[in-house]
Structure 1
């Protein structure tokens, strides 16, 4: 297992009218709520220690400090939760997509 930080970026399509972007507070709340079940729950699929969500102009950066077997698996688990939350609110997130950012390994036992 490793303690690592993963970054995931959520983006609106490039041709989206900026006037139709959801409010930053809505983006932050929606994405934070998607990850909340993993936070502070050691028995979850991916224990998330802390999570920061930074919305910016039709996009958001999600940074999660977590404990997991690999950066790839951590990114996949978090991305699946974000994707489900965005699909649950299609009026706000129609056409949005996710991109993996950097993975930082802080400590590993292997």
Structure 2
């Protein structure tokens, strides 16, 4: 995923496509890559994952990706209101908090 992040915008469209199609591990890997890219245009696709996907691993990776995008772009949580996912995002963030803190560079309790 870190190599993908170095490719930047050149891989964005492909990752967006993969994040919404294929088997669960393809969607999860695409969400991971989108988080590494940290680009705001990925948020609508990640929002759709939070709303519609049923696979817990995919949802977890989308949650991490959104958090990374918010952090990287210095966005407040209210940024997610335009996508209608603030409450879903916070719910998943809370659900996976212990596991996600180290991945987001946050200290554990």
- Which one has a bigger Cα radius of gyration? 1
* TM-score normalised per structure 2: 0.31
- Judging by fraction of residues, say which structure has more helix: 2
Bigger relative contact order, structure 1 or 2, given CA contacts below 8 A and separation 6+?
A: 1
* TM-score normalised per structure 1: 0.31
- Judging by fraction of residues, say which structure has more strand: 1
